[in-house]
Amino acid sequence: MRVLVLVLLTALIPMLPSALGAQHLLVPMDREQANHLRAYGLTYWALERGEEAEWLLNYRDGAFLLPDREEVRREASVRGVSVVAKDASEVARIRSTIDRSNMEAVLLESAPRIAIYTPPHTAPWDDAVTLALTYAGIPYETIWDPEVLSGELGDFDWLHLHHEDFTGQYSKFFITYAGASWFQEEMRRNEEVAGRFGFPHVPALKEAVAHEIRTYVEEGGFLFAMCSATETIDLALAADGVDIAAAFVNGLPPDPDASERMDWSRAFAFQGARIQIASSVNAFSDIDSHQVNTQWRQPLGYFTLFEFSAKIDPVASMLVQNHESVIPDFYGLTTAFDQARIRPGVTILAQEGDRAKYIHGSLGEGTWTFYGGHDPEDPEHQIGDAPTNLDLYPNSPGYRLILNNVLFPAAKPQPQKT
């Protein structure tokens, strides 16, 4: 009889509940991960389907913990994402390690609704966030000025801005590209929208859009901006009646006192900047420390991510999760930020020497993050260049910073410990 019982138990072992087998899939984010970028997409995919997920801050460079289900394993395989099965005892050991270290487990609750601010039929350059989302397999919608002014921002949890010029000067590209058909079409599109909504010119339209975006953040939205959008949205907000684009709009002489009359109390990140009033100089202000398209252009170096306490400051920790701490810099119309122009209370997440590359702050119920530069894997991207092929950079640390921000709104961080 005893032999029969043992035989029956042996036969039943493969059929026992998963409590005796793997219960979770660990998605490592250290150098053992085959595809870091698509690992974010896998986690987003799981959240979309109502699965539980955790972000293990500072554990294996920001690993994710997903349920061990056949469909999750299959999706990981399709995406080329490395996962490791962990049973209950192994997960308990991981949690014990987290409890005793500068680590934290953060619950990811739901997949954020994502919007990318971009004009229709966008001009011939690519957007690093669009590339990252598409490669990772994370869905998004596109919106532009009409949708913003019509109150549609509230439909989204997360908003991205890239190379928009919110001063309405078309990034001063008219210096070089005035005769280009794509540039003329961009001007025509913007002027049509300005007229449709009753604005006298494009700078007035863009300033109104900037204020709508600020309200969106105040009311709980998550804003992520790169390249010139970081600098110019604050210039537009601080202008608040100061005509900083007069020389461009109607050929009037530039106002030499415009910088002194700016009101920086409504800006997200910056203060006291000197605007570049000369329409012949392709720079916006002295916020950008590299002045890439001017005679004062600074060379690129490397920027370093700061380490934060995952238990005390989980927000900053989420935003810097990476398998590399020193990353090659890359140009954009706004490449990095002069620290003398950054407002008190702003968190610097990464810097290159005395230049800040990556910064974060809160406003009202929401938050914003600014990341200088255009494309982390194309350091000197030019208009008309081919889009970056992320199949060649599946483990890009620079692109990981973008995707940290995409998952950030899904997180439910614990109250900060004091």
Question: How does residue 186 score in pLDDT terms, banded at 50, 70 and 90?
Answer: confident
Q: Which own/partner contact pairs does 75-81 have at CB distance under 8 Å and 24+ positions apart?
A: 75/42, 75/45, 75/46, 76/25, 76/27, 76/42, 79/35, 79/38, 79/39, 79/41, 79/42, 79/137, 80/34, 80/35, 80/38, 80/394, 81/27, 81/33, 81/34, 81/35, 81/38, 81/39, 81/42
Q: What is the CATH number of the domain that holds 353?
A: 3.40.50.880
Give the tens place of pLDDT for each residue, 18-72.
Answer: 434 579 999 999 999 999 999 999 999 999 999 989 999 999 999 999 999 999 9
What mean pLDDT, rounded, does the chain reach? 87
Is residue 3 scored above 70 in pLDDT? no
Q: Are residues 219 and 103 in the same domain?
A: no
Task: Kindly tell me if the per-residue pLDDT of 2 is higher than 50.
Answer: no
Burial of 125 by CB count in 10 Å (0-12 exposed, 13-18 middle, 19+ buried)? middle
d(CA 147, CA 144): 6
For residue 146, what are the domain limits? 114-412
Which of 59, 91, 108 delimits the end of a domain?
108
Instruction: Provide the number of structural domains found in the chain.
Output: 2
Task: Tell me the pairing of strands 347-352 and 337-338.
Answer: unpaired
Q: Specify whether 255 is located in the same domain as 382.
A: yes
pLDDT band for position 371 (50/70/90)? very high
> Considering 64, 81, 108, which residue would you say is the last residue of a domain?
108
Reported as a single tens digit per residue, the pLDDT across 74-96 is 999 999 999 999 999 999 999 99
347 and 285 in one domain?
yes
Residue 187 pLDDT exceeds 70: yes
Tell me what pLDDT residue 251 has: 55
When pLDDT is cut at 50, 70 and 90, the band that residue 387 belongs to is: confident
| SS3 state of residue 166 | coil
| Whole-number Å distance between alpha carbons of 160 and 227 | 11
Check whether residue 30 and residue 128 sit in a common domain.
no
